Chains A and B, each alone.
Chain A
Amino acid sequence: MSWFFPILVGAATGVLSGFGIGGGTLLLLWLTMVSGMDQLHAGGINLAYFIACALPALWYHLKNGLIEKRAALWCILAGVPACILASLLAARMDVTLLRRFFGVFLLGIGFRELFFKSKKGGTPNPEAVKKSTQAGEYLPLSTKKAENSKK
């Protein structure tokens, strides 16, 4: 039965990972604190787990028209080489200080997300949309795609 709790934990954190809200963090916590795994092995499982989890989640997100393809494409095109270069760099230098700065930044984002003022309903704030249109900002092709997906 040593597989029972791992499946359960993987499924629970997998729901959060599929939402894109950081379930992997919780899985890492379980692996290191409860299972007593070292960081390297926990990190390896976490990566493989995320791949297994993201594929079915993305299939549904795509079907539901919730993936902004152009944004994803540009992010990936820039992100993958950046990730490779950075991991080569990380192997050659001490990134502790850099990581601390990154942490401060994360704390800022975290507070904002945790304590943001909730608006009623799931639709974007019309005020914000109006403002962004006036400012000449890019508006996603959201409405069109969302309708297409509702077959």
Chain B
Amino acid sequence: MSRNRKFAANWKFVVTGALGGLANGLFGSGGGLFLVPLMTKWGKLEQRKAFATSVAVILPLSLVSAVVYFSKGALELSTAWPYLLGGAVGGAISGLVFRKVSLTFLRRVFGLLILYGGVRAVLAL
């Protein structure tokens, strides 16, 4: 019984991950936007864990996409490095404060950014 349940839960994450990867591969980005709602509503993950776990999933997806991009020569370190440095600092700060950030704030900002992504996608910008 519990084994079956575990299996079913794993399948939900397999499908969730596949959808995220599909969107990322097809549209270049946006796969991550799938992950959190599917993980919470379907996979029954706790909201805060879903946000954190989605970062862990998007990282390898970004690595794959990065290989595609860099093979096209679309990265110049001379212009990229300040963003990478800033990003690393921001990432460390986010990890330090994440437990104290209100879930309501996280979900509202997330919603706003998804809406923006949706508008862009619909208008094919």
Interface residues of A (CB under 8 A from B): 3-4, 6-28, 31, 40-41, 43-61, 64, 66-68, 70-72, 74-90, 95-96, 98-100, 102-116, 118, 122, 124, 132, 136-140, 142
Contact = CB atoms under 8 A, between A and B. Distances in A.
Interface string B7-32: 01110111111111111111111111
**Majority SS of interface residues in chain A?**
helix
Nearest to A91: B68
Contacts of A45: 75, 79-80, 83
Nearest to B68: A87
B53 A71 contact: yes
Interface residues of B, number: 106
- 6 closest Cβ pairs, A-B complex: A14-B90, A10-B86, A60-B95, A86-B25, A18-B94, A103-B121
Contacts of A136: 5
B39 to A, nearest CB: 6
A100 B30 CA distance: 13
Contacts of A51: 59, 62-63, 66
Given A80-B61, A109-B37, A114-B108, A19 B21 contact: no
Nearest to A74: B13
Contacts of A19: 51, 94, 98, 101, 106
A49 B94 CA distance: 14
A18 B107 contact: no
A61 B50 CA distance: 11
A17 B12 CA distance: 24
A15 to B, nearest CB: 4
A142 B52 CA distance: 13
11 contacts: A11-B93, A43-B29, A44-B70, A48-B83, A59-B95, A68-B53, A76-B57, A84-B25, A86-B23, A107-B122, A111-B115
